[in-house]
Amino acid sequence: MPEVYKILGQSAITTAFANVYTVPANTQAVISSIVVANRSSSNVNYRISVCQNAAAVSNSNYIAYDAVISGNDSIGLSLGITMGNNDLIAANASSNVITLSIFGTEIT
Protein backbone atom coordinates (compact mmCIF):
# COMPACT_ATOMS: atom_id res chain seq x y z
CA MET A 1 0.00 0.00 0.00
CA PRO A 2 1.80 3.16 -1.18
CA GLU A 3 1.81 6.20 1.09
CA VAL A 4 1.90 9.73 -0.33
CA TYR A 5 2.73 12.65 1.97
CA LYS A 6 1.10 15.80 0.66
CA ILE A 7 -0.97 18.93 1.04
CA LEU A 8 -4.41 17.39 1.19
CA GLY A 9 -6.41 20.58 0.92
CA GLN A 10 -6.16 24.37 1.07
CA SER A 11 -9.08 26.75 0.96
CA ALA A 12 -10.17 30.28 1.75
CA ILE A 13 -12.98 29.65 4.23
CA THR A 14 -16.23 31.62 4.11
CA THR A 15 -19.23 31.91 6.40
CA ALA A 16 -20.87 28.94 4.64
CA PHE A 17 -19.65 25.43 5.43
CA ALA A 18 -17.54 24.01 2.61
CA ASN A 19 -15.62 20.79 2.14
CA VAL A 20 -11.87 21.40 2.27
CA TYR A 21 -10.76 17.78 1.81
CA THR A 22 -12.53 14.55 0.88
CA VAL A 23 -10.70 11.23 0.99
CA PRO A 24 -10.68 9.76 -2.55
CA ALA A 25 -12.25 6.40 -3.41
CA ASN A 26 -10.24 3.32 -2.40
CA THR A 27 -8.00 5.47 -0.21
CA GLN A 28 -7.35 6.08 3.47
CA ALA A 29 -5.79 9.22 4.93
CA VAL A 30 -4.01 10.30 8.08
CA ILE A 31 -4.31 14.01 8.85
CA SER A 32 -1.09 15.10 10.54
CA SER A 33 -1.86 18.79 10.87
CA ILE A 34 -4.28 21.57 10.06
CA VAL A 35 -3.16 25.20 9.90
CA VAL A 36 -5.69 28.00 10.36
CA ALA A 37 -4.53 31.44 9.20
CA ASN A 38 -6.36 34.71 9.84
CA ARG A 39 -5.71 37.20 7.03
CA SER A 40 -7.35 40.14 8.83
CA SER A 41 -6.44 42.29 11.83
CA SER A 42 -9.64 41.30 13.71
CA ASN A 43 -10.39 38.19 15.78
CA VAL A 44 -12.41 35.57 13.90
CA ASN A 45 -14.30 32.44 15.03
CA TYR A 46 -13.96 29.23 13.03
CA ARG A 47 -15.39 25.72 13.00
CA ILE A 48 -13.86 22.50 11.67
CA SER A 49 -15.81 19.28 11.28
CA VAL A 50 -14.72 15.73 10.36
CA CYS A 51 -17.60 13.83 8.75
CA GLN A 52 -17.68 10.10 8.15
CA ASN A 53 -18.67 8.86 4.69
CA ALA A 54 -19.65 12.33 3.38
CA ALA A 55 -22.24 12.83 6.12
CA ALA A 56 -23.64 16.31 6.69
CA VAL A 57 -22.03 18.50 9.36
CA SER A 58 -23.67 17.90 12.75
CA ASN A 59 -22.97 18.52 16.43
CA SER A 60 -21.33 15.09 16.75
CA ASN A 61 -18.42 15.72 14.36
CA TYR A 62 -16.79 19.03 15.30
CA ILE A 63 -13.11 19.12 16.23
CA ALA A 64 -13.22 22.93 16.66
CA TYR A 65 -16.38 24.90 17.42
CA ASP A 66 -16.35 28.69 17.49
CA ALA A 67 -12.64 28.63 18.28
CA VAL A 68 -11.14 32.13 18.18
CA ILE A 69 -8.07 33.06 16.17
CA SER A 70 -6.49 36.46 16.78
CA GLY A 71 -6.00 38.95 13.98
CA ASN A 72 -3.00 38.36 11.70
CA ASP A 73 -2.25 35.07 13.45
CA SER A 74 -2.06 31.40 12.58
CA ILE A 75 -2.74 28.27 14.61
CA GLY A 76 -1.24 24.85 13.91
CA LEU A 77 -3.25 21.84 15.08
CA SER A 78 -1.13 18.67 15.39
CA LEU A 79 -3.57 15.83 15.05
CA GLY A 80 -3.42 12.23 13.84
CA ILE A 81 -6.95 11.82 12.54
CA THR A 82 -7.51 8.62 10.58
CA MET A 83 -10.01 8.85 7.76
CA GLY A 84 -11.54 6.34 5.39
CA ASN A 85 -12.75 6.48 1.84
CA ASN A 86 -15.24 9.36 1.30
CA ASP A 87 -14.73 10.90 4.78
CA LEU A 88 -14.35 14.67 4.67
CA ILE A 89 -13.22 17.78 6.51
CA ALA A 90 -15.46 20.84 6.28
CA ALA A 91 -15.04 24.30 7.77
CA ASN A 92 -16.53 27.75 8.06
CA ALA A 93 -15.73 31.03 9.82
CA SER A 94 -17.47 34.14 11.11
CA SER A 95 -15.79 36.21 8.38
CA ASN A 96 -14.38 35.49 4.90
CA VAL A 97 -10.73 36.00 5.97
CA ILE A 98 -9.59 32.53 7.06
CA THR A 99 -7.35 30.14 5.11
CA LEU A 100 -7.34 26.47 6.11
CA SER A 101 -4.52 24.11 5.07
CA ILE A 102 -4.60 20.36 5.68
CA PHE A 103 -1.46 18.20 5.57
CA GLY A 104 -1.12 14.45 5.82
CA THR A 105 -0.74 11.10 4.12
CA GLU A 106 -2.91 9.25 1.63
CA ILE A 107 -2.68 5.47 1.58
CA THR A 108 -3.86 3.56 -1.49
Using one digit for the tens of pLDDT, what is the confidence trace for 77-107? 999 999 999 999 999 999 999 999 999 999 9
pTM score: 0.95
Q: How far apart are CA 27 and CA 24, in angstroms?
A: 6
Identify any residues that bridge with 12 across adjacent strands, giving them in sequence order.
99
Q: Is the pLDDT of residue 1 over 90?
A: no
CA 57 → CA 37, 42, 43, 62, 70, distances in Å? 22, 26, 24, 8, 25
Architecture of domain 14-102: Sandwich (2.60)
Please give the span between the terminal C-alpha atoms of the chain, in angstroms, as a whole number.
5
Q: Is the pLDDT of residue 19 over 90?
A: yes
Is 2 in contact with 67 (CB distance < 8 Å)?
no
Q: How far apart are CA 49 and CA 56, in angstroms?
A: 10
